[in-house]
Structure formats: structure tokens, C-alpha cells
């Protein structure tokens, strides 16, 4: 996060807001207004608070990272459309016919070398700090309530990792995660999503489904 913030200060015209602002509606509303501007800027809220819970957070809130087309191109180091086109080509790969087609496919296959995650023999950096069970306190995180009629605070872009019951299939999806209390989140997914299908497998087997959120 620190590296991203420093990069945005130099390259992204980052707007820093030091005034204490509420994670419930206040910060999201300011970000919503900023997004609508033609010269939209990324926003860093350094002093988020929660008035209803009387909490002052130690963690800043960074929003609107992809503020405008120019900044998005800087982040990807290319036009976003070219990124989308590259992904589309990979998704439509077909088995090559003949030696020449195999040679032509080499650059596309080479582009896949960083797609698959590395499997570590030891714990990764994300496991340097482990907090278990009743010691988990989601109130330490500045989770936002974005809209007045939301049922509560939501992690809106949680990267949720799940796998099938037999472990043969994995899925990384982005789902809204509603904070129920200090150590419970509610998962929101549509019934056609892969994670939902995995969940059905675990339910039928009478087992709890392990879930990782990044």
C-alpha cells in the first residue's frame, strides 16, 4: 500500500484529505462526487473514523485509484483496451494446426508464464500475522458503508478464493462481503457463480467450506 501511495503522489495527482471523515456514507459520498469529474483524482483519506462506533482507524482509505484514462494507462503501461484484447485472445486460444501455427503461438503462450500462481513450500507474506477465531476484530478495518439503504458496511471488492470439495477446481472471484459483527462476514454471490456451486457441494457433504479473502 505504501508503495502505491508514493507512486500515486508522483504520478497520479493524488489528493490527500487529512480531515477526519466517517466510513459510513461520508467518505464514499466524497469519492462518488470525485469519480464524476472529468479531471477525477485518486483520493487518500488519512483519518477515517466511525462516529456510530466511536472508532478512529489507524489504516487510511485509498479510493478512486483508476481515476481517469491517463492514469489508468500509466498504471497498465498501455491502453486498457489492449489489455482486454490480450485477455480475449488468450481465452480464445485453439490448438495449433501444423508447425507454423505452433511457432506463431509461442508469444501468446509466453505471456501466460506469470498467470499461474507460484506454490510456496512455506508460508507466504500474507501469513506473517495470524489472528485466530475470537481475536479477529473486523472493526479495526475501515470498512465502508456506501449507500444509505445498504444493510451495513461492505467490503466491496473482496478477492474470494474457494475450491471445489475434491480440490480439483479453484476459483478467485470478487464478491461483496457484508460485515455482521467483529468476526463475521456475509458472502454475497449469485447462484450461477463458481463459488456458489462449490458451496452447494460442501452443503450436500455436510462440511464447512474454507474461504480465503484478500
Cα 114 from Cα 90, distance rounded (Å): 13
Question: Helix, strand or coil for residue 85?
Answer: helix
Q: What is the mean pLDDT of residues 15-37?
A: 96
* E-only strand ranges, 29-165: 43-45, 48-50, 55-56, 61-63, 154-163
pLDDT, the chain, mean = 89
Q: What is the pLDDT of residue 97?
A: 75
Quote the pLDDT of residue 48.
98
Q: Which of 178, 138, 139, 140 is nearest to 158 (CA)?
A: 178
What's the pLDDT at 133?
86
Please report, for residues 10, 65, 99, the alpha-carbon distance to residue 79 in angstroms, rounded to integers and kept in the order given. Answer: 20, 16, 32
What is the model's pTM?
0.81
pLDDT at 115 (0 to 100): 66
87 has pLDDT over 90: no
| Overall average pLDDT of the 171-175 stretch | 90
Percent of the chain past pLDDT 90, that is, above it, reads 54
> Mean pLDDT over residues 112-131, rounded?
78
Are 174 and 157 contacting, i.e. CB atoms less than 8 angstroms apart?
yes
Alpha-carbon distances, residue 144 vs 10, 50, 60, 168 (angstroms): 27, 9, 12, 35
Asked if 72 and 33 touch (Cβ cutoff 8 Å), the reply is no
Nearest to 166 by CA among 213, 204, 132: 204
Q: What pLDDT does residue 152 have?
A: 93
pLDDT band per the 50, 70, 90 thresholds, residue 17: very high
Q: Give the span between the Cα atoms of 195 and 81, in whole angstroms.
A: 28
Average pLDDT over residues 179-183: 95
Cell of 128: 506473517
User: What is the arrangement of strands in the sheet containing 15-17, beginning at the earlier edge strand?
Assistant: 15-17, 43-45, 61-63
Amino acid at each position: 500500500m505504501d508503495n502505491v501511495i508514493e507512486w500515486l503522489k508522483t504520478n497520479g495527482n493524488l489528493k490527500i484529505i487529512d480531515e477526519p471523515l466517517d466510513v459510513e456514507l461520508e467518505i464514499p459520498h466524497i469519492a462518488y462526487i470525485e469519480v464524476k469529474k472529468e479531471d477525477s483524482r485518486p483520493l487518500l483519506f488519512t483519518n477515517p473514523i466511525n462516529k456510530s462506533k466511536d472508532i478512529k482507524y489507524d489504516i487510511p482509505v485509498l479510493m478512486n485509484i483508476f481515476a481517469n484514462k491517463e492514469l489508468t494507462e500509466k498504471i497498465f503501461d498501455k491502453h486498457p483496451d489492449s489489455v482486454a484484447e490480450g485477455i480475449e485472445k488468450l481465452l480464445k486460444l485453439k490448438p495449433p494446426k501444423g508447425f507454423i501455427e505452433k511457432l506463431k503461438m509461442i508469444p501468446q503462450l509466453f505471456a501466460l508464464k506469470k498467470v499461474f500462481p507460484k506454490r510456496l513450500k512455506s508460508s507466504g507474506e500474507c501469513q506473517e500475522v495470524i489472528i485466530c477465531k475470537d481475536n479477529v476484530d473486523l472493526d479495526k478495518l475501515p470498512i465502508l458503508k456506501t449507500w444509505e439503504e445498504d444493510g451495513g458496511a461492505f467490503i466491496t471488492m473482496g478477492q474470494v478464493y474457494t475450491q471445489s470439495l475434491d480440490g480439483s477446481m479453484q476459483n478467485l472471484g470478487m464478491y461483496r462481503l457484508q460485515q455482521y459483527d467483529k468476526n463475521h462476514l456475509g458472502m454475497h454471490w449469485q447462484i450461477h457463480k463458481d463459488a456458489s456451486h462449490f458451496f452447494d457441494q460442501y452443503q450436500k457433504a455436510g462440511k464447512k467450506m474454507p474461504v480465503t479473502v484478500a
